[in-house]
Amino acid sequence: MLEISPIFNAMMRHKSHALLLIIQIALTLAIVANAAFIIENRLTLMNRDSGLPEAQLFKFDVFSFGKDIDLNQQMELDETMLRAIPGVIDAVTINQIPISGSGDNTIFMDRDDTPNKNNNDKNLHSKSNTPAKHVHTGVYRGDTHTLNTLGVKLIAGRNFSEDEIIYGNETQPISVAIVSKAFITTMFPELKGLEQQGVGKLIYVFRIPIKIIGIVDKLQSSQVTSSHIEQTIILPKIQTRNFYRFLIRTAANQQQAVIDKVENLMLKLYPNRVIRTPRTLTYLRDNSYADDKMMTQLLMILIVILFLITALGIVGMAVFNVNRRRKQIGTRRALGASKGNIIRYFMIENWLITNLGIVLGIALSILLSQFLMQQFSLPKLDNSYIMATMIAIWLLGIMAVYFPAKKAAQISPAIATRSI
Amino acid sequence: MFNYYLRLAWKSLWATPVVTLLMLIAIALGIGSAMGTLTIYHLMSADPIPEKSAQLFAVQLKSYDNKQSSWGMNDGYPLQITHQDAVNLSHSSVAVKQTPMVRTGFAVQTDNPDIAPILKSVRAANSDFFAMFNAPFAYGSAWDKNSDQQALEVTVIGAKLNQQLFGGGNNVGKILYFDQKAFRIVGILQAWQPTPQYYDVNNGAFRTGEQIFIPFALIASNKYRSWGNNNSYKNEEVNTFDEKLVSESHWIQYWVELKNPQQKNAYQAYLKNYISQQKQLGRFERDDASADLKNVTTWLTYNEVVSEDNNVLVGLSFLLLVVCLVNTVGLLLAKFLRRAPEVGVRRALGASQTQVFLQHLVEVSLLGLTGGLLGILLAQLGLWLLKNNYEQYQLLTDMDITMLLTAPVLAIGSSIIAGLYPAWKICRTQPAVYLKSQ
């Protein structure tokens, strides 16, 4: 039924035209499939849940240059004042802000693996000969208000009690911690699915044992590019520094009102300091993901341009073929071909070319993906992207060729009689 | 002859305005995206100090212990060094010029009580810093060696801060208050912003640089904290600032200037010697403890100042350019072949193949040039949009002269490549075929 063989023969009379279009379609498929894959990867990254009520949170930095105060005391006064502002749900001084791009990381271990140089008795470290597990962890330090300010849920265990908080230069070691669920699954893979049982386990840092007393469902750390972003820990410690920051949770609709007041209230409490511009978590998120956002936007533009150019190429080729074959079309019409036959002829011709282009394009997509994988830290292209792009190019081809084909069908059969 | 071809080309392009427009759009989009991404790449990978980039070296020390199989960057060297190493190295005089440095910050006030204290980031470095990195002075000069040794409270400020605090002018000798301590201004720089800011890429290579410089020794004496990265391999608890100064925490950058290979060799020998000395003190306990010197261009590549994303974008947009060109070849072929009867007549009347070929190449070049110019406009528009929408591109300004010249060359060059085949095809027209059917 399909007149593939005559169409193919006619196409072969102008091989270079067909070949150019095939190359163009193949390249388009290869680029679009890979670009779409990169876009999707980035969108997945950007849409990860930080575990926080981001719209309710903002932070600001305080830099005290005055030397006439006790910083410990001042931090407490600041906190009390901030928590009393109408609209504020809770506030805390904290060492790092989630998804802000800069913060503290430390390696925690599942046992104290420091070899005891002075003792030859191996039984002291008899537990196991395998090296201790090292887990890169984002470290938050704050007081009992940390959980409530972050707005994260405990799935097991309890919050810090007031007497567990270590202030300023108090030297006793930290003995308890709250960790994220992802921390438990990384540190103790055997507890996967039973993370609640992580409560009571010991972890080590600087040879100090720390007991896990609580587990939160989800809490990301500050560096969004890090592969360890989900592994976090909260330590009950307030460090005394002249440069510290506050995280504040308000009702979402009150946020701006509170932000507007904060600097004046802080300076009224103690003037010899600088309050840095408050930043909302939404702002920090946008900032942290700015590169990914730009990449997705630029790649989307690239895809649109490619589809546009390829559609133009198909239209151009079809128009050229129609014009070149005006007489033949007229003759076919005069010999009884219907308008539908003519349209079908061009559609099938284009469909053949598109298919050849797609076959070549699949090979090119895989090659390009392999090249990108070798050169850059990109994951392997998922086949579904090639499929989706194939379908898009099919549809694009059909749409692009339809109008020139319809125009061809309008050619009058009389044209056949005129010039012969 | 050329003028004649040009006139023919002009007429031919106007004869089929739609096809011409399609080709122009294709070329402009292709050139525009390729030039846009290439310009960003070019600016990011630019040598910020071409006259000295081979003489300035970042110093790296493999100082960590045997417990780590590797630490720091991929080659096993950390990016920064410890404070104690920085102090020790700066006592030697083997390098021509050298400076430890670190980014810190404090609240800045003037005598003018109307100006609220402002928080500023600060670079602590030795007096050699300015000569090493060619920082140009508008007034005054760098502080002297004595200030380095005595940790005197002196400062050099940038043009922007001078404008902000004093409205410009020569303010050498005036006093600024940093965290309420009085510092005397000894020098004021001219507007100076190396891009990328190669001497400290820890905090982002395309940030605006610090506007305040102070002697490095003040870090220890005034207990200024680092506003940059602090990394430690060691399980040691650091509670006080004094503990940090003697800790194994890596937070100081170190640069040396070595004018020739002899000096470089001498410095490498010195570092080797330093490491064996430290080994006797129980530090640098690894067998492969060593030092590495990387010059500016190596340093920038090493730190991946040009991000992977940029490379991917350049690659993909050049593939896009290929698609646009393939598209143009197709359109040109169609257009030229329709003109075959006309060419047949010209050939019969005596035009040589070469003449027909050249005539069509001129047409293609004219198309390429116009498309290329449109492409530059598109690229400029794109760069402008990037600059205004993305903070990270603020410092990357417009196309420089290299890029402005590259664009038309790329445009014409690629259109000629695209036009070669159609022009060759048309110039081989057999006159007889078309004479018969006329």
B400 pLDDT higher than 50: yes
Higher pLDDT, A68 or B392: A68
Q: What pLDDT is attached to residue A124?
A: 44
- Closest Cβ–Cβ partner in A28, A207, A320 for B235: A207
Q: Is the pLDDT of residue A224 over 70?
A: yes
Shared domain check, B190 and B146: yes
Q: Which chain A residue has its CA at the smallest distance from B422's CA?
A: A16
| A79, A157 contact by CB (below 8 A) | no
With a cut of 80, say whether residue B68 has pLDDT above it: no
Q: What is the pLDDT of residues B280-322, one digit of tens each?
A: 998 998 888 999 999 999 999 999 888 888 899 999 999 999 9
Quick one: pLDDT at residue B296?
95
Residue A121 has pLDDT above 70, yes or no: no
Contacts across the A-B interface (CB distance below 8 Å): 127
What whole-number distance in Å separates Cα of residue B232 and Cα of residue B363?
65
Q: Does ipTM top 0.90?
A: no
Q: What is the pLDDT of residue A118?
A: 43
What is the domain count for chain B?
2
Domain shared by A220 and A324, yes or no: no
Give residue B397's pLDDT.
Answer: 63
- pLDDT reading at B49 higher than 50: yes
Q: What is the DSSP string of B200-236?
A: --TT-TTSPPPSEEEETTHHHHHTPPPSS--B--S--
**Domain-embedded: residue A239:** no
A110/A228 same-domain check: yes
Same domain for A219 and A131, yes or no, is yes
Residue pLDDT, tens place only, B9-21: 888 888 888 888 8
Check whether residue B70 and residue B11 sit in a common domain: no
- Check if A114 contacts B (Cβ < 8 Å): yes
**CA gap A225, A292 in Å, rounded:** 10
Instruction: Please tell me the predicted confidence (pLDDT) of residue B340.
Output: 83
Cross-chain Cβ contact B330/A316 below 8 Å: yes
Q: What DSSP character marks residue A217?
A: S
Query: Minimal CA–CA distance to B129: which of B54, B206, B228, B216?
Result: B216
* Domain contains A214: yes
DSSP at A122: G
Q: Do A290 and B391 touch (CB under 8 A)?
A: yes
State pLDDT tens for residues A201-214. 999 987 789 999 99
- Within a domain: residue B125? yes
Give the domain-ending residue among A234, A254, A281: A234
> Does residue A230 sit in the same domain as residue A110?
yes
CB-based contact (8 Å) between A27 and chain B?
yes
Residue numbers of the domain that contains A219 = 104-141+155-234
pLDDT of B254 reads 96
Asked if B83 contacts B245 with a C-beta cutoff of 8 angstroms, the reply is yes
A205 touches chain B (CB under 8 A): yes
Does some domain include residue B250?
yes
Is A291 touching B (CB cutoff 8 A)? yes
Mean pLDDT throughout A260-288?
93
Residue B82 lies in a domain: yes
Within a domain: B41: yes
Q: Are residues A405 and A314 in the same domain?
A: yes
For chain B, give the percent of residues with pLDDT over 90.
Answer: 45
Nearest in space to A137 (alpha carbons), one of A35, A191, A210:
A210
pLDDT at A125 over 50: no
- Whether residues B105 and B213 share a domain: the answer is yes
Cis peptide before A413 (omega within 30 of 0): no
Residue to test with chain B: of A263, A305, A327, most B Cβ within 10 A:
A305
Query: Mean pLDDT lowest for which of A42-56, A384-398, B379-393?
Result: B379-393
Q: Is the per-residue pLDDT at A164 higher than 60?
A: yes
> What was the pLDDT predicted at A113?
67
Contact B83, B223 (CB under 8 A): no
Whether B290 and B162 share a structural domain: yes
User: Which residues from B are below 8 Å from A310, CB to CB?
Assistant: 323, 327
Residue of chain A minimizing CA distance to B36: A298
Helix (H, G, I), strand (E, B), or coil: what is residue A382? coil
* Statement to judge: residues B261 and B350 lie in one domain: no
CB-based contact A137:A228 (threshold 8 Å): yes
Tell if the CB–CB gap between B338 and A320 is shorter than 8 Å.
yes
Q: What is the number of structural domains in chain A? A: 2
Residue B51 lies in a domain: no
Highest mean pLDDT among A374-378, B107-111, B393-397: B107-111
In A366-395, the residues whose Cβ lies within 8 Å of chain B are 368, 372, 375-378
- From the list B29, B311, B313, the residue facing A298 with the nearest CB is B313
Q: Which domain holds residue B288?
A: 56-302
A206/B236 touch (CB, cutoff 8 Å), yes or no: yes
What phi-psi label fits residue A207: left (phi over 0), alpha (psi between -120 and 50 degrees) or beta?
left
Widest Cα–Cα separation across chain B: 99
User: Given A27, A63, A290, which is nearest B322 (Cβ)?
Assistant: A27
**Residue where one domain finishes, among candidates B236, B267, B302:** B302
Is pLDDT at B94 greater than 80 in this prediction? yes
* Domain assignment present for A368: yes
- How does A176-208 read in b/e, with b if 16+ C-beta sit within 10 Å? bbbbbbbbbbbbbeebeeebeebbebebbbbee
Q: Quick one: B62 and B165 in the same domain?
A: yes
Look at residue A122 and tell me whether its pLDDT is greater than 70.
no
- Contact (CB<8Å) A317/B330: yes
Chain A: closest CA distance from residue B235 (Å): 5
A 226-245 near B (Cβ less than 8 A)? 241, 243
Q: Which of B246, B267, B302 is the last residue of a domain?
A: B302
Q: What pLDDT is attached to residue A117?
A: 45
With an 8 Å Cβ cutoff, are A63 and B107 in contact? yes
Residues of B with Cβ-Cβ distance to A16 under 8 angstroms: 333, 421, 425
CA distances from B373 to A298, B15, B31, B68, B376 (A): 21, 21, 9, 56, 5
How does residue A127 score in pLDDT terms, banded at 50, 70 and 90?
Answer: very low
Place of tokens 């040691």: B236
Residue B438: per-residue pLDDT: 47
A75 found inside a domain: no
**Average pLDDT over every residue of A51-57:** 93
Output the pLDDT for position A253: 92
Please give, rounded to a whole number of angstroms, the shortest distance from the CA of B291 to a CA of chain A. 26
Pair B155, B209 in one domain:
yes
CA distance, residue B257 to nearest chain A CA (Å): 31
Task: Assign A123 a pLDDT band (cuts: 50, 70, 90).
Answer: very low
Percent of chain A with pLDDT over 70: 95
* Residue A2, pLDDT score: 60
**Do B279 and B416 have their domain in common?**
no
Predicted local confidence at residue B398, as pLDDT:
65
Q: Give the CA distances from residue B353 to residues A248, B5, B11, B51, B342, in Å, rounded to whole numbers and listed in that order.
A: 79, 14, 21, 51, 14
Q: Is residue A308 part of a domain?
A: yes
| Segment among A91-95, A153-157, B90-94, B334-338 with least mean pLDDT | B334-338
Q: Based on the fold, state whether residues B27 and B67 are members of the same structural domain.
A: no
Q: Is 70 exceeded by the pLDDT of residue A419?
A: no
Flag whether A91 is in a domain: no
Q: Do both A34 and A110 map to the same domain?
A: no
Residue A269 domain flag: no
Predicted confidence (pLDDT) at residue A313 exceeds the cutoff of 90: no
Q: Are residues B78 and B200 in the same domain?
A: yes
* Chain Cα centroid distance, residue A67: 44
Give yes or no: residues A300 and A385 share one domain: yes
* CA pair distance A199, A216, nearest whole angstrom: 11
Over residues B362-388, the mean pLDDT reads 88
Residue B424 Cα distances to B1, B94, B233, B333, angstroms: 19, 66, 66, 10
A219 pLDDT more than 90: yes
| Residue of A70 and B408 predicted with greater confidence | A70
Do A225 and A121 have their domain in common? yes
Identity of the highest mean pLDDT range in A12-26, A304-318, B133-147 = B133-147
The C-alpha of B128 sits at a distance from chain A's nearest C-alpha, in angstroms, of 29
Mean local confidence (pLDDT), A68-96: 92
Of all helices (H) and strands (E), which one includes residue A388?
helix A383-409
Q: Are A323 and A399 part of one and the same domain? A: yes
pLDDT at A243 over 70: yes
* CB-nearest partner of A243 from B19, B225, B421: B225
Last residue in a domain, options A210, A234, A258: A234
pLDDT averaged over every residue in chain B: 88
Evaluate whether residue B353 is within a structural domain. Answer: yes
Q: Is B292 inside any structural domain?
A: yes
Residue A369 located in a structural domain: yes
Domain boundary among B302, B335, B367: B302
Query: What's the pLDDT at B437?
Result: 57
Instruction: Tell me the C-alpha distance between A82 and A248, whole Å.
Output: 8
Give residue-wise pLDDT tens across range B180-205: 899 999 999 999 988 888 999 887 78
Please state the length of chain B. 438
Distances in whole angstroms, Cα of residue A8 to Cα of each of A15, A20, B333: 10, 16, 20
Q: How far apart are CA B336 and CA B354, in angstroms?
A: 15
> Is A361 in the same domain as A295?
yes
Same domain, B100 and B41: no
Co-location of B87 and B39 in the same domain: no
Mutate to test the interface with A, among B110, B320, B321 (most CBs of A within 10 A): B320
| Residue B50 lies inside a defined structural domain of this protein | no
Residue B160 has pLDDT above 80, yes or no: yes
| Across A309-335, average pLDDT | 86
Alpha carbon of A7: minimum distance to chain B alpha carbons (Å): 19
Per residue in A363-394, pLDDT tens? 999 999 999 888 887 888 888 999 999 999 99
